[in-house]
Structure 1
Amino acid sequence: MSTIHWTETHTRHSARWHSENASPLPRRTVVADDRMKANDAYRQACEGTALLWQGDFHNARQLLQAMGRRIDRKPPKSSTSPSKNFHLHRRRSNDRAGVLGMLLVLLDDDYTLTLRRAPNVRQACLQAYGPSKGPMVVSLRELLGVLGAHQWRLKGIDVPTLGARIHPHYGVFAPVRGEYVDLVAHTPLPPATRHSPATSTAFDLGTGTGVLAAVLAHRGINRVVATDISARALVCARENVHRFALTDRIEVSGPGLFPEDRADLVVCNPPWLPARPTGPIEQGVYDPDSTMLHSFLAGLSAHLRPGGEGWLILSDLAEHLGLRTRQQLLDAIQVAQLRVVDKIDTKPRHPRSKDAADPLHIARSAETTSLWRLTA
C-alpha cells in the first residue's frame, strides 16, 4: 500500500494512493483548483507533478479534456512496419494516459467526493473497489472510467442472440463486439452434443461476463461450466447467470482455466493480441506471449470427450499487425496434437474497423474473426 502526501494551507495531508493500472506514486503532488490554466497543468503533468484537484468537478473534466488536446497536437510517429506502428501507438497511448493520470481527486470515507457540482460516486466506487478502507486518492481519469462502467452495469448491453441484456462489471471485458457471440450462436454443435443434449456438457473458458456460457445454454446444452482467472469476472458472470435464470444449467467456477472432468464442447475466446496489458480492462484484449491461447491448446485434448470439439474464437488482427503469423498459430495447434476440422470466418462490424483516422486502420480494415473447430 502506498501513501500520497500533499501540503494544503501549510498543513501536511496524506491518504492511500490507488491506481488500477499500477501507476507509480507521483514524485510530487500539489493542490490545484479552478485558477489552474491548462498550459500550466499540462506542463506540470509532463514534468511528473500530480495535481490534486480542489475546485469544481465539471471544471476538472474540462481541464482534463484540454490537457488531452495539447497531447494530441503532437503528430504521432509512424513506421512502414505494422508491428513497429503498433508498438509506437501503444507507447503513445501509455504516455498519454500517464500525463492525464496526473490530475487527481480525493475520495473521503465511504467514497464521498466533496468537490463542487460533483456527482454521487459512492455506489460506483463501492462496486469497483469494494468496501472503503478510508480516504484514498485516484486519478480523475480512472474515476470517470469507474463511473462509465457503473452506467454500463446499470443499463446493460443488448445481446440480440439472447434477446436480453448482459451487465458487465468494472474491470470485466464487455461484449461490445457481437461478431464472436454470433459465431458461437450459429456454428453447428458437435454431433455428440446434438444427439444427446440431455447429457451434453460444455466448458466456457475465460467467461468474462458469462455471455458465451448463456449462449451455449440457450442452444440446449444441458450443463455449462464457465471459468475465469479474474475474481471480478467470476462475480460478474454469476450475477448475469442468475439474472438469466440459468443457475440450474450454468456453473461458474474458478479462478482457473480448465475445470475438472471432460466436455463435449470447450469454447475459448482468448485475448487476441500478444502484448502486455496496462490495466484490468485491457486484460481481455492483450495477453503477453499469448499465454492463454497456448494454455487452451495444450490442455484441450485432455478435457475433450470422444467426438468432442474445441472452439477457438480468434481474430487475425495480430497477424495484420505483425505480432503473430498464421504459421505460428498452425504450428501451436499441431504441437498440441489437434486437428482443424473447419474454420468459420466473419468480418468485424465495430466502428473502429471503418475509422480511417485510426492509427491502426489498415490492419483493422483487413481483420477477420474466426471460429476454429478443433478435435484431438
Structure 2
Amino acid sequence: MNDLPPYLEWSDQGRLRRARWRSEAGLALPQVLEMADESWSLAAILDALRSGRHLLWRGDWIAARRLLQALTPRADQLFRFQPAASPAATFARHRAVQGERAALLARLLVPLGPDYKLQLARAQDVRAACRAAWGKPDGNNSVVALREVLALVSASEWQKKGVPVPAAGGRIHPRYGVFSPLRGEYIDLVATALLPSGAALAFDIGTGSGVLAAVLARRGLQVVATDLAARALECAADNMERLGLAGQVSVVKADLFPPGRAAVVVCNPPWLPAQPTSPVEMAVYDPDSRMLRGFLQGLAAHLLPGGEGWLILSDLAEHLLLRSRHELEQWIDAAGLRIIGRLDTRPGHAKAQDAGDPLHAARAAEVTSLWRLVVQ
C-alpha cells in the first residue's frame, strides 16, 4: 500500500514543476494545471472552473483574494437551491448543491514553498497557520486551494484569541479541523444538570476542543476526555493547560470509551446522520449514526452504580426526517438504558432566524436536549 502523499507535476514556462497536493476535504488530484493571473477575465476564470479545470494562481495575492470574493456570489447564482418534496430530500439536495459550489471554488489554487511560504507577490505570511494545521514542513512545495489557505488563516486567528466560555472558566482555543464551541447552548445544559450523588469521576466521550471536559472539571469532577483525532487530542490537552485543568483532566486516545467506569459519562455526538466531506464536518455529520449508537450500546458497561449517561443531542435530524424520535428511544431501550429526565434548550444561532436558509423550517423548530440515561 502506498502511503506517500500525492504529487502534482506540471509545466510552467517550459520548466517541469512538482509539488505536494494538499486537500483537507480529500478532493481528487488535479490531472491538469493551468496557470492564471490578472490577465484572465473573471468570465474566463469562471468558465474554466465550471468546466472542471484547475487554475494555479500566479498573480498577486491581494488580487487572488479579490477574485475569490467576486467568484463566490457567482457560484451562489450557479448553484441556486430548489427545495425538494420532503425535508429529507431537501436536506440531501442542499448538501449536494453546497458540495458542487465548494468543489468549483476549490479549483482555484495557490502555491506554497517548502516552508509554507506563499509563492505570490504581496502575499501575507501564512506559515504559522499552516504549521498549526499540518505540522512541521516536510521540505516540499505544495499546491492547495485558495479557500483552504484562507480557512487555515481564520482558524489560526480563532486559535490565538479563543472563544469565551464562562462555564469553562475562561477561553477555549479551537484549532483547524476541530469544532469550535461558538454555538454554546449545549454547554449550559452540562453546566447546570444535577450531578449524581457522590459523583467524582466523569468521562467526556469525543471531547473535541475539550470544552465539556473543562465544564465538568469546573464542577469539581476528575475527567477522562477521549477522542480519536490527533488534532482534537492536541487541542483539548492545550486547552486544559491554558485553563489550569491539566491536573483534573486526562486526555486520552480512544474509540469512544476509556477503560473503567464513571459516575457521569457525557457524549455530544454529531447530530446529523450523513456523510462528512472534511474532518471538521465529522463533528456535525455521523454516517448511519455510528457514534450515537456506539455510545448508547457501550454506556451501561461504563457507568458506576447510580451513575448517569448524559447524551447531548439536537432534534434537527428528526425535523429533517433523517431519524425519528421513536428510533432513538428504541436504541436507548435496546442498550439496556432508560430515560430519567431531559433538559431542553432552544438554539440561539443566526440560522434559526434566517428565513432564507433552505433548512429554516427545521432549524426554527430545533431543540437541543441533555438526555439523562441510567442502566435499566
User: What TM-score does the superposition give when structure 2 sets the normalisation length?
Assistant: 0.96
Give the Å deviation of 1:115.
Answer: 1.1
Confirm or deny that 1:162 pairs with 2:168. yes
Please say if 1:117 is aligned against 2:126. no
Q: Aligned residue for 2:189?
A: 183
For residue 27 of structure 1, report the CA deviation from its aligned partner.
2.4
The one of 11, 16, 22 equivalent to 2:20 is 16
Are 1:227 and 1:256, in contact at CA under 8 Å, matched by a contact in 2?
yes
Q: Deviations over 1:206-236 (max 9, x none)?
A: 1011110010010111x10000011100000
Cross-structure match for 1:234: 233
Native 8 Å contact 2:165 2:171 kept in 1: yes
Aligned twin of 1:6: 10
SS of corresponding position for 2:202:
strand
- Counterpart of 2:123, as a letter, is A
Q: Following the alignment from structure 1 to structure 2, what is the Cα–Cα distance between the partners of residues 6 and 94?
A: 27
Candidates 101, 105, 110, aligned match of 1:100: 105
Cα deviation, residue 192, structure 1: 3.1
1:25-44 matches, within 5 Å, as: 25-44=29-48
Asked if 1 retains the 8 angstrom alpha-carbon contact of 2:169 and 2:243, the reply is: no
Return the alpha-carbon distance in structure 2 between the equivalents of residues 167 and 299 of structure 1. 30
**Which secondary structure state, in structure 2, belongs to the residue aligned with residue 161 of structure 1?**
helix
- Indicate yes or no: 2:151 matched with 1:152: no
Cα distance in 2 for residues equivalent to 1:15 and 1:118:
19
CA deviations on 1:157-200 (whole Å, 9 max, x unpaired) are 0112234110001110111111010000011111232xxxxxx1
Among 69, 79, 83, which residue is 1:78 paired with? Answer: 83
Asked if the contact 1:270/1:314 (under 8 Å) is kept, the reply is yes
* Contact kept in structure 2, 1:319 and 1:326, CA below 8 Å: yes
Contact 2:191 2:219 in 1 (8 A): yes
- The amino acid of 1:114's aligned partner reads Q
Structure 1 contact 26–48 (Cα < 8 Å) conserved = no
Q: How does 1:170-209 map onto structure 2 within 5 Å?
A: 170-193=176-199, 200-209=200-209
Contact residue 36 and residue 57 of structure 2 kept, 8 A: yes
Q: Check the 8 A contact 1:214/1:241 in 2, yes or no.
A: yes
| Counterparts of 1:154 and 1:285, CA distance in 2 | 23
User: Counterpart of 2:137?
Assistant: 132
Give the alignment's Cα RMSD to 1 decimal.
0.9
Gaps of 5+ in 1: 194-199
Given that residues 169 and 218 in structure 2 are in contact (C-alpha distance below 8 angstroms), is that contact kept between their aligned partners in structure 1? no
Hey, which bits of structure 1, 4+ residues long, moved more than 2 A?
Answer: none
Q: 2:224 matched to 1:218?
A: no
Alpha-carbon distance in 1 for matches of 2:110, 2:56: 6
Q: Does the 8 A contact of 1:82 with 1:322 survive in 2?
A: yes
Distance 1:129 1:15 in 2: 16
CA distance in 1, matches of 2:9, 2:37: 17
Provide the secondary structure at the position in 2 that maps to 1:192. Answer: coil
1:296-326 Cα deviation digits (max 9, x unpaired)? 0000000000000000000000001111000
| SS of corresponding position for 1:265 | strand
Shift in Å, 1:34: 1.2
The reply to whether residue 316 of structure 1 matches residue 315 of structure 2 is yes
2:161 maps to amino acid: K
2:69 aligns to what?
A: 65
Structure 1: how far apart are the matches of 2:309 and 2:325?
A: 19
Identical-pair percentage: 51
Q: What is the aligned partner in structure 1 of residue 368 from structure 2?
A: 369
Deviation track 1:274-295 (CA, whole Å, cap 9, x = no partner) reads: 0000001101000100100001
The DSSP-based 3-state class of the residue aligned with 1:111 is coil
SS at match of 2:198: helix
Q: Match of 2:68, as an amino acid?
A: L
Per the TM alignment, residue 256 of structure 1 is displaced from its structure 2 partner at its CA by 2.3
Q: Does 1:307 align with 2:279?
A: no
Shift of 1:51: 0.5
Is residue 224–residue 249 contact of structure 1 (8 Å, CA) maintained in 2? yes
Per-residue CA deviations over 1:34-78 (Å, capped at 9, x if unaligned) read: 112111111111111101011111211121122222221233222
